[in-house]
Amino acid sequence: MNTRRTGRALLILAVVLGVAYGAAKLNPGSGRPTKMPNVIPASHPQRPAAALVLANSALGPLGLDADTELSLEKLKSVFVGLTVERKVGEQDGPDFVYFEISDQEGELFWIKAQDDDPGKIDSVHVTSDKVVDQYGLRIGSTYAQIHAARPALLVETDEHFHTYVGNPEEKIVYELSCPYAAGYDGPDRNPTKAEIRSGVIEGLVWFPRLKTAM
């Protein structure tokens, strides 16, 4: 099973990128998803995932904001031709609900519901390079491509050595894979500037900016 990293990583991300969450904050811990029995697979011909673009205000036909409501039936009707599954992830805190959206070749993205209100959106996590964002970036895009498309970004590494690139004025954030320089055989550490410049996107994250810190 895939591991859903929520909680601490995104809470730290919110702090380092200058974001204050409102009603629902992520709980610490990593989640292990458990498939729920009430799965409703799509019954329509598969629609190309290339039609899905992640923007600050939408993911394909799904509008995104802090009040976006989630349900299995709604997501199935929105993402026609794709498979939608409702699952439960386990973490150090309370279990959480999320919705996994896939095509015939596998998972495209998953949507986490708020811990306190599983009918409301918390965040979106893109896991396939078939989904591109409004800047033309996707999983596998290089740091140089990020910088060319979005030059005014912050780069931060959290206490678990996950490196993120984002802008506190916008809702799309990138997680970078930054391999250590050849020959390095020490403990985990923050990547150097050179290692960041050689990084590539390994994940796209969307979450609502309820209040921007000054």
Full-model pTM: 0.77
pLDDT at 10: 52
Q: Where are the alpha helices (DSSP H) in 17-54?
A: none
Write out the chain's pLDDT in tens, 214 residues: 445 655 545 544 554 455 433 322 222 233 434 333 333 334 344 455 657 999 999 999 999 999 999 999 999 999 999 999 999 987 667 889 999 999 999 999 999 999 889 999 999 999 999 999 999 999 999 999 999 999 888 888 888 888 999 988 889 999 999 888 877 777 778 888 999 999 999 999 998 875 433 2
d(CA 185, CA 183): 6
pLDDT at 17: 52
| Secondary structure (DSSP) of 142-207 | BHHHHHHH--S-EEEE-TT--EEEE-TTSSEEEEEE-PPPTT--SS--PPPHHHHHT-EEEEEEE-
Name the strand (E) or helix (H) holding 10: helix 8-16
CATH fold group of domain 4-212: protein yfey like fold (2.60.460)
pLDDT at 158: 84
pLDDT at 5: 55
pLDDT at 22: 30
User: What tokens appear for 89 in the block?
Assistant: 């992830």
